[in-house]
Structure 1
Amino acid sequence: MGFVMRNFNMFKAVWLIVTCCFLFPSTLLALEGKYYVVPKAELPIRSGKGTNYKILAIVKEGTSVEVLREDGPWANVRLADGKEGWILSRYLSSEEPPRKQVKMLRDQLSLLKNELSSTQTRLAKLREQLKACEAEKEGCLAKQSDITNKYNLLLTDSKNVTTLKAKYEKQLLEIDRLKNELTILRRENSQLKNDQNVKWFLAGSGVLILGWIVGYLLGRRRKRRFSTLL
């Protein structure tokens, strides 16, 4: 019977603890984790839950503490150096203190300013590079235009060369034709000269023969006249 009563009392104790956990969860677990001391000049960390306990340390605004548990208006905390004590929970906040936030914002602003300055410097360099690229582009376009003009001139010259070549070949054919005609004319001229020489030879021969005949006839006539006179 005594054993049953002891078990029953233990069950009641466990049930009471569980009920308290469900009914008052904020009292036991609300402040567990990392918290910061809210704005105040200085706050004491005491060895117990009350102002009559010994002061173990003095913390300033923004000090980071680890809340181990909460009991009523007091919270059991651990400092960065490992010391543990009690502090009034109303001076704890899960948010960083304004001064620390301002400092963090200032640091972020300074970082952003540095990044902005670096970005502006890079932007200025990129602008210079862009100007250089644009100048190089203009130079390339000018060279391209010059090359295009030279190419078009070469095309025109090539067309002219083709035309001149055709004319040259035509002139060569004409020269060959004239050479052939000249050869024929020379042959004809040579033939004419030969024919003319023959004609002159025949004419000369005819004149000689005619002269001989005339002389012969005149000689006979004279002989007859002379015979008649005798």
Structure 2
Amino acid sequence: MKIFFMIGICLFSFYTAVHAEIMYIREVEISLRTEPGNDRKVIEMLNAGQSLEVLQSGDTWTNARLPNGKEGWILSRYLTSKKPASASSDTLKKENESLSAQIASLTEENRRLKEGGTGAASQSEGSIKTCDDLSKSYKKLKDECADCLRMKSDYETSSAQIAEEKKKTEDMRKRLADIEKSEKNIWFMTGGGVFLAGIIVGSLLKGQRKRSSLY
């Protein structure tokens, strides 16, 4: 039996939640009371456009619940199913204020970013100048290295030429020595030949003289 009772309560709660009706306060300020009647205790004063959930609707009084959970009775003639223009205006006003606050916040943030951007721009310019200086230094070093390599190549070429000329000079000296040696041999042989010829001529002349003396 208890189970059916609990199921019934759940179904009733579900039905009530599904069929809950939202109403709004008209263009007046009205009181929410503990019970139906203008002489009953006031729970809270409700402003125009205030939304509430209808729990029990009547021709004169309506039992309703506020968004904050408070429940009470309110005169039915001050309720409407359409959201009043003033409430819409208030909502738009609040949205406008919220947007204005966001715009102000974004403007301030943009200003800070610009100020930070100025510092970043200065740092960027300094970095660019440093990069340019490094590029110039690298180019200068590269040119100097190219000059060094060119000088090394010229030195190696000159060294090779000097070595070749030195070899040629040594060959010429060797040839000159050989020529001088050959000339000495020639002069020696020539001198020997002249000496031998002189001996022969002298011998012949001596023989002729002896024959002449015999006659």
- The two structures have a TM-score, normalised by structure 1, of 0.55
CA contact (8 A) 2:31 2:43 kept: yes
Structure 2 SS opposite 1:59: strand
RMSD: 4.3
Paired residue for 2:52? 65
Correspondence 1:151 to 2:137: no
Partner residue, 1:94: 83
**Counterpart AA for 2:135:** Q
1:32 aligned partner: 21
Match of 1:85 in 2: 73
Structure 2 matches for 1:46-195, cutoff 5 A? 46=33, 47-48=35-36, 54-61=40-47, 63-72=50-59, 75-79=62-66, 80-92=68-80, 94=83, 96=87, 98-99=89-90, 101-189=92-180, 192=183
- Aligned mates of 1:150, 1:119 — CA distance in 2: 45
Residue 143 of structure 1, CA deviation: 1.9
Residue 125 of structure 1, CA deviation: 1.8
Any unmatched runs of 5+ in structure 1?
1-28, 210-230
Question: CA 1:161 to 1:114, structure 2 compared with 1: closer, same or farther past 3 Å?
Answer: same
Shift of 1:84: 1.9
Q: Percent identity?
A: 12
Amino acid at match of 1:139: T
2-side partners of 1:116 and 1:107: how far apart? 14
* Unpaired runs of at least 5, structure 2: 1-18, 200-215
Which has more radius of gyration?
Answer: 1
Q: Aligned match of 1:43 in 30, 51, 55? A: 30
Q: TM-score, normalised by structure 2?
A: 0.57
Describe the shift of the 1:150–1:106 C-alpha distance in structure 2 as closer, same or farther (beyond 3 A).
same
Residue identity matched to 2:31? P
